[in-house]
Amino acid sequence: MLKERLAELVAESCDGEISKAEALEATVPLSYLGVTSLAQMRLIDAIEREYGVEVDLGGDISFLDSVDALAAWLSAAR
């Protein structure tokens, strides 16, 4: 369920450039599929609002490379 919602947020953040299914099934970093730096900022905002966490932009944000890594980061952050 968490991965599904995160994949939806990825799709919404990049204005549909990639679909929820593409985000879930990606075997390459999401940026290779078209998630831009602006889309990453939108995604971070959406995650912070929805899950009540804070993303440290000065730290390692490589978890934004995949839905799996994002889900693992979010589970650890909550």
| pLDDT of the residue at 16 | 85
Query: What is the number of domains present in the chain?
Result: 1
For the whole prediction, is pTM greater than 0.85?
yes
Sites in the chain below the pLDDT cut of 50: none
Among 20, 18, 26, CA closest to 4: 20
pLDDT of the residue at 54: 93
Tracing tokens 């952050």 back to the chain, one arrives at 77
Reduced to 3 states (helix: H, G, I; strand: E, B; else coil), residue 57 is coil
Residue 11's domain is classified under what CATH number? 1.10.1200.10
- Work out the number of other CB atoms within 10 angstroms of the CB of residue 61: 13
Q: What is the pLDDT of residue 60?
A: 87
Give CA–CA dist 40/3, Å, rounded: 16
**Token couple for 45:** 């905002």
56 is in which domain, residue-wise?
2-77
